Amino acid sequence: MPEAEDVRRVALSLPDTTEKIAWSMPTFRVAGKMFATLPEDETSIAVRCPKEERDELVLAEPGKFWIADHEAGFAWVRVRLAALEDDDELRDILADSWRQAAPPRLIDAYPDLGLPSAD
C-alpha cells in the first residue's frame, strides 16, 4: 500500500513538478498548476479528474474513489491510498492528473506520460 512519502516521491518524479504547501497541506504542481494534494490525514490524495469520468470511477470502485463535498463542483476526485494495489497504480493516477494540468509543451515532450499502456 502506498503511503504519503510514496505520493511525494512519485509526484516529484514527474516532469517540471514542484511541491508547495497550500491550505496547510502539500500540493503538487506542474508548471505552477496544481494536479494533486495530500490532505492532512495523509490517507488519501485528491487528483484532477473530468467530472464524467470521476462519477464512473466512484460508481465502479467506491472503496477506492470518492468525491469530497467541497470538491463536488470541481473536476477532482479523492483516492484512498490503502485501496491502491501498488506504486504502479499510484503512478498511473498521478501521471493522468499531471497530464490534465501540464502545459502543451510538456505534453508534447512526454507524449506517453499519463496515457494508458497498450497491453
pLDDT value at position 114?
72
Entry pTM:
0.93
**Do the Cβ atoms of 79 and 45 come closer than 8 Å?**
yes
Q: What letter represents residue 63's amino acid?
A: G
Cα angle 51, 72, 37; round to 5 = 85
Radius of gyration of the chain (CA): 13
Q: Rounded to whole angstroms, how far apart are CA atoms 8 and 88?
A: 14
pLDDT tens figures, 22-68 = 989 999 999 999 999 998 889 999 999 999 899 999 999 999 999 99
Query: Is the four-CA dihedral 91, 92, 94, 100 of positive or negative sign?
Result: positive
pLDDT tens figures, 88-106 = 999 999 999 999 999 999 9
- pLDDT-derived band of residue 12, with 50, 70 and 90 as boundaries? very high
